[in-house]
Every structure is written in C-alpha cells, then in structure tokens.
Amino acid sequence: MKNIFSILLVSLCFNSFSQGLSNFWLMGYDYPSSIPWGPSAIDFYNGAPNIYYDSARTMNFNFLESSISDSLGKMLFYTNGVYIANRTGNVMLNGNSINPSTQTTQQELSNDGLRITSGNIILPYPEQSGLYVMVHETADDIDYPHPSYLYYSIIDMALDSGYGGISFKNQILINDTLPLGQLVACKHANGRDWWIVAPERNVNGYYVFLLSPSGLVLGSHQYIGSRDISSGQAAFSSDGNVYASYDTYSDLEVYDFDRCSGLFSNARHVAINDSMVGFGLAFSPNGRKIYASSTLYLYQFDLDKPNLAAYDTVAVWDSTYSPSPPFATYFFSQALRPDGKIYITTGNSTFRLHTIDYPDSSGLACHVSQHSVILPTYNNSTCPTFPNYFLGPVVGSICDSLGVGIIENSQLTLKEIHIYPNPATSYFWLNYYLPNNKDGWMRIYNTQGELVQKRKLYWSTTQLQFYTDALKNGLYFIEVQSDGGTKASAKVLVIH
C-alpha cells in the first residue's frame, strides 16, 4: 500500500503541473522574420500541448529559456539569459544586463540568447509573496566558454505597477570554474524551502545552496562519485530522491539525495560505450526510469534493476532531416513536461521534437516517437527545464515540519531561543533566555533520539557558541531546559 501511495503522490504532483508556474515552453529566433523564422510556443496549462506561432513576442532564444507563470497559467516573466521580459514582452524594469560577460554582450549585440542548457532557475521566494529568486550563469569569455561565476537576482512583482522588476541583480554566489548549465533545484523535505545544485567543472564536486525565508546560503560543498563534470544535463526525479547527471564523455552518474540534509549518497557510475557527442537526460514521471541521449542513440536506465548498467537502447536516429539535409533530427536535450511525456530536442535548428510517450514503461514499450511534434518555426534546441514546484513535504519524516531553527512546543518566546547559522558547518550560536534566575542545560539529540551532547547553561548569560566537530552530518534536535522546568526545542542541520 505504501508503494502504491508513493506512485499516486508522484502522479498527482505531475498532474498538478497543468495548474501553472511551469506550463510554457518558448522557442524560436530571428524575429521579426516571418514563418518559418520567428517565435513559437507550447502551452501545457490544459494538459495537452497547445502549439502556436507567438507573433507578439520579440525575444529570441538560442538554447537557454526560463520562464514562470502564475497559478492560472498566465505568464509573469521570461528570459533568454541576456535580459528579462515582463508579461507584455517588454524589457522588465532593471531587467537588462543580467549575466555580465563578454559572451553575454556578444549575444546581446546579435539579438540572440545564451547557448546554455539549464543555465537558469526561477524559484518562488519562500513566504515572500510576489518575490522570485533567479539563479543564473553565463559563459564568461569567448576563448574559455564556461562560467566562472554563479549569480542570483531577485524579482519583485510589486514593482512597475505589477509588471515586476529586478530589485537585486547579479549577486555572486560562486566564483569558481563551473560547467555550462546543469543547474537544478529540488524542494526541501519541509515542502517550503529549496535546494539548488550547481556542479564544479572537471571535478566531482557539487555546491548545494538552501533557499529559505531567511535568504540564500551555501548548504554544503560535497565531493562524491567519480564523474569529472565538463558538460551535459542533470535532473532530479519528480519526488526529489534521486539526482542524475550525464554526458557522453563522462557517462552517467546517479546519486540518492536527502531532501532533509541536502546531501548526496550511494554514488553509481555507469560507463556507456558511445563515441558520439551530445547529451540529454530526464527522469520518467514515477522517477524509476532515467533516459539519456547522445547524438544517435537514446538509452533507458531502470533504477529497479539490480544492475543499473543493464540499460536498454530504446531508439536509434532514423536518418530524418527537417526540413532537409543537413538539418538532422538527432537526439539532444530532454525535459519531462506536464502531459507526462518526455520531449527531446534535435540538436539542430529544425521544425521537430521527439517524444517518449510512455516513459514509465520498460524497454521499447516506452514508445519513442521520433520527430512527431511539428513546430511552426525553427527551434535551435531551446529546452526549458523546470523544478517540481508542486512537490510537498516528506510526510512523516524528521523534516516534515517548517520548524528548522524555529521553536516548537515552547513556553519561551521565539526571541529567547534561536540558532544561527542554520545549516551549521563548523559551529552554531545558540541564543537563549533562562527565566526566574535558574540555570539550565542544552541537550543535543540525533534523529534516533539518542543524547549526543550536553552542555551547562547559566541564567546570567544568553548566548553559547557550540562547535560541531564531534557531530556527523545530519539533523539534530536542540533542547533547552531550565532547572525551573521550562523547556524549548529547535532543530539544526549540520553540514561539514
């Protein structure tokens, strides 16, 4: 019964995609040229794809496209990595000059978008109505076309009479060598906050950020697995429990993901005998199948098989061109869309997209329909990748609460016990107040309820700095109790 419920829950999450936020797929370039050039779009708000020529739009897209709509499926804003447009298609207030670099300037001069797949994420700011956080990157020069910075910007929809504007722009999160794209996000186990993953280039390192009502902070910098990341596509399963990354040079890497701690584990590497270039990756709706594509081949990996390396080749390019040679309909970037199908771009400017019609099914039963989607204009491999905005909390888990760092069942007031920074890396500060001139104790329990640390507290002081060297990575419960019997508790996430 539990497994049936889990599958049903994932299904409900993806059916709810049609309720807005992630329903648009914008594409096309060389506006204002007439068909077969110019803007086109797919709207999945009603479930089935509505494909149309989007004559009102002036933004050109190359690879990168990111947008967000409201709960009714109405566009709020969108970007090609060079600037942000509001719902009218005009440049958003303060929405130009994002992603500062020589590469961005060159694309702007040519009236084009950035050539990055999954180089942008738009997330609702938790408990901040009308605010959105955009995490983004660009190639930072021409000769070395890879990011050196990861930025974030904040969009406030209350600005410009409700059309929105950027209130905080191009703030640096990372100054490091990064691969192009592969930015992904997953809901925290509390169902409110967000984990954002950005890999390092040419090493097996991952930056994991936490977005909460308190802001955007680095949660961990973890090295795991054997994949030296240079390019490719990454994705989370719809339930957020599995992360995968793939390209034909360093193959497929799969990790389990803890939505509570934001940490990876159980690294699995699958070598693929494929000399072709290209990349693409997506999970099936139930999260048990992974699809990876090279230029000529489409592979299916089954997480329920004892041996992940026992993969199936579910499609081989059928030699079709669109509209004619040399515009081959190869396999390239992938995305699971609200109708439950996986859509695949062609890696060329063509009128076509492929689909995997039954991606939860094993082997050839998944039914790959090559070049089955006909577009009104050329698409140069634009493929937006959205997080699962509708993923809820991990019901029954230790993080099934919005109380990380907040008092629970307390007779004290919020200002009298507070933990920061949270998550904690090497230490945290505990602010407390012990009433009635009574001393007390701080006790730290692990998730099994075992007492792991105990520290004396004195009523005459209100702050304690605690070093976390002896604590393993994970969630801990902090209990403060005065000798007079008053109790308060909070949670702290430790990530070294």
Instruction: Give the model confidence (pLDDT) of 194-249 as tens digits.
Output: 999 999 998 999 999 999 998 999 988 999 998 877 789 999 999 999 999 998 78
Asked whether 330 and 297 are in contact (CB, 8 A), the reply is no
What pLDDT was estimated at residue 448? 78
Q: How far apart are CA 104 and CA 292, in angstroms?
A: 29
Print burial letters for 401-418: b (CB count within 10 Å at least 16), e (below 16): ebebbbbeebebeeebbb
Q: How confident is the model at residue 372 (pLDDT cuts 50, 70, 90)?
A: very high
Is residue 2 packed enough to be buried (19+ CB in 10 Å), middle (13-18) or exposed (0-12)?
Answer: exposed
- Give yes or no for residue 476 having a pLDDT over 70: yes
Query: What does pLDDT average to over the chain?
Result: 87
Kindly give, in sequence order, each residue whose CB lies less than 8 Å from that of residue 33, ignoring residues fewer than 6 positions away: none
- In sequence order, the 6+-apart residues with CB closer than 8 A to the CB of 107 are 62, 81, 82, 113, 114, 115
Beta bridge partners of 465: 429
- Residues with Cβ within 8 Å of 214's Cβ and at least 6 positions away in sequence, in order, are none
pLDDT above 90 coverage of the chain, percent: 60
How much is the average pLDDT of 88-92? Answer: 96
Residues 231-246: pLDDT tens digits?
899 999 999 999 999 9
Residue 405 in this model has a pLDDT that exceeds 70: no
Task: Give the pLDDT score at 402.
Answer: 54
What percentage of the chain has pLDDT greater than the value 70? 90
pLDDT above 80: residue 376: yes
With CA atoms as reference, report the closest residue to 368 among 440, 289, 422: 289
SS3 416: helix
Q: What is the mean pLDDT of residues 132-160?
A: 90
pTM of the model: 0.79
- Residue 346, pLDDT above cutoff 70: yes
pLDDT at 406 over 70: no
**Of residues 286 and 460, more confidently modeled:** 286
Q: How far apart are CA 453 and CA 141, in angstroms?
A: 50
**For 11-29, what is each residue's pLDDT tens digit?**
334 444 445 899 999 999 9
Please indicate whether residue 473 or residue 1 has the higher confidence score (pLDDT).
473
Nearest in space to 62 (alpha carbons), one of 87, 39, 42, 84:
39
